[in-house]
A = this chain, B = another copy of it.
Amino acid sequence: MIVGRHIIAELYGVKEELIAKEEVVRSIVEEVVDKAELTKVGSVYKQFNPHGVTGIVLIAESHVSIHTWPEYGLVNLDIFTCGDTSKVEKAFKLFLEKFKPESYRHYVLDRG
């Protein structure tokens, strides 16, 4: 029984100003969740000192999580949605447009 699709991605070469501060990361994540028509239930973010952010958004369709490493230009991104699998692809595309990584790798996992 496949219940959803999970994209697990590492983004490389992301500019520090996009991923160092919580307010910037939060703004990007919430915009993507909204544009991908995911249903936000709640979210939690944490700013690391001196920089780096971790954040999770519980969506009715599952979750989005992000962990940023400005010192490496790295983002660990997870997008897991149940139901309409086109939403996970749409959200991933939007994240790539926002973070503009020099390169990335991603795994697509059917969950269940």
Contact = CB atoms under 8 A, between A and B. Distances in A.
Interface of A: 1, 3-4, 6, 8, 10, 41-46, 54-56, 58, 60, 62-63, 65, 67, 69, 72, 74, 76, 78, 80, 82, 107, 109, 111-112
29 contacts: A1-B69, A3-B69, A3-B74, A3-B76, A8-B8, A10-B111, A10-B112, A41-B44, A41-B54, A42-B44, A43-B44, A44-B58, A46-B58, A46-B60, A54-B62, A54-B63, A55-B58, A56-B56, A56-B63, A62-B65, A62-B67, A62-B76, A63-B67, A65-B80, A67-B82, A72-B112, A74-B112, A76-B111, A78-B80
A87 B77 CA distance: 20
Copies per assembly:
2
B60 A63 contact: no
Contacts of A58: 44-46, 54-56
Interface SS of chain A: helix, strand, loop or mixed? Answer: strand
A109 B63 contact: no
